[in-house]
Amino acid sequence: MGHSPSTSFVIELDDTALADLYLISCGAYFPLVGFMNQSDYDAVLKSMHLKDGSVWSIPVVLPVLSEEANSIPIGSYVKLMQGDVEYGYMILQEFFVPDKAFEASSVYLTEDRAHPGVKKLFDRKEVYAAGPVWMSTRPASPFPYASFTPNEAREQFKQNGWKTIVGFQTRNPIHRAHEYIQKCAMETVDGLFLHPLVGETKSDDVPAAIRMESYDALLSRYYPPTRVLLGTFPASMRYAGPKEAVHHALVRRNYGCTHFIVGRDHAGVGDFYGTYDAQKIFASFTDNELGITPMFFDHSFYCKACGQMASIKTCPHEENDRMTLSGTKVREMLRQGIRPPGEFTRPEVADVLIQGMRENEGK
C-alpha cells in the first residue's frame, strides 16, 4: 500500500481489473508486479510462460477505451479508480491493441461467445494498458473473517504448525464428492486450505454469500477444525478450463500451499473441455517449475454396493449402483425445497442452499 502521487490521469476499473489489482498488489499473482505488457502477454498466449521463463497461463490485463489510450501519455502516473474510490495507481509503460480472437482461442480454446469467458473478453474495452501497480485502498471484503493475503495465510499455516498444505479451489457448494476428495488429500498432508473463488461468476452460479454459509455449515460439523483453514479468493472466474487450472495452482502456491487438488473438469463450463483436460495440461510442466504438486482425482460418487464414497479407481460396480445427479437436477430439487439424498449432499448444506435460493429468488 503506497500513497498515490498527484495526477490528473484516471483509468476506470471494471470488477475483474479491480480484483486483479488487489491480487497483483498482495502477491497472489507473483511474479507479476503490474498489468502485463505486450511481450509478456504474447509469451503467455503462445507458451504459458512469461518472457522471463516463469510459468503463467492466463493474461492479466487492464482494458481501457481507445480515447483513454489516446489521451494519457506513456510514463504518466495514473489513478486506478472504480466510481469515486481510488484503489491504486500505475506507472503507464505501454498501450497495445490485443488480437482478442487469438486470445480467446489460446486461453479458452474457443472463440464461441456462448462461452462466458469469451463473451466477457469481447465485452471488455478494446486497448490494454500495461505497467507496474500499487494499491492505495484494499477493496472491502464481504467475508472479512476469511479474507487473507498470501502472507496472512502463510502466517496462519505457520501458527497451525502445517508444513504441507493442500489447496482446494471451488466456485460451487461442496457436495459429498468434493468432501471425499478433500479428505483423501488430507490423509497425506498437514492441512487443507479451502479457498473458494468469491469474485465475479456466471449469473446462474450459486452466489458467494450462500456458498460461504454452506462451507461454514459443512466445516463446523464434518471436518476437524485444527486441520482446515477457510479463506476467500476474490478473483473473477474465467471459466478457462485447463489454462485456469494451472493459474489456480500457481496462485495457491503463492498463498503457501504445497499441493493443489485438480478434479474433473476443473474451471470448466458447458462441454467446452474434456473431463480430464485440466489434469493433462500439467504434464507440460515440471513440479519444480510450478512450485506446487498437483493432486489428480477422478470422478467420485456414492456407491450403494460399496456402501461408501468411491471413484472409478476404487469401485468395481456398475453405473446403476452409483448415485450421480446432474447439477441441473440438484438445482431443481433445491428450488422445490427438496433435499437431495444424504449420499449426495450433506443435509446441513442442502438446508442452507434451499433457504438461500428461496431468499435469492424472492428478491
Active site members: 171-172
- Identify whether the C-beta of residue 197 lies closer than 8 Å to the C-beta of residue 235: yes
- What gap in Å lies between CA 185 and CA 266, rounded to an integer? 16
Q: What is the pairing mode between strands 127-135 and 85-91?
A: antiparallel
Calculate the alpha carbon distances from 69 to 17, 73, 128, 135, 242 in Å.
16, 8, 8, 21, 32
Which DSSP category does 191 fall into? E
Count other C-beta atoms under 10 Å from residue 119's C-beta.
15
Helix residue spans in the chain (DSSP H) = 15-25, 38-47, 66-71, 100-107, 116-123, 150-160, 176-186, 208-222, 241-254, 277-280, 287-290, 327-335, 347-362
- Identify whether the C-beta of residue 193 lies closer than 8 Å to the C-beta of residue 259: no
- What gap in Å lies between CA 40 and CA 46, rounded to an integer? 10
Calculate the alpha carbon distances from 323 to 141, 177, 337, 345 in Å.
37, 10, 20, 11
Q: What is the pairing mode between strands 300-303 and 322-323?
A: antiparallel
Give the chain's largest Cα–Cα span.
69
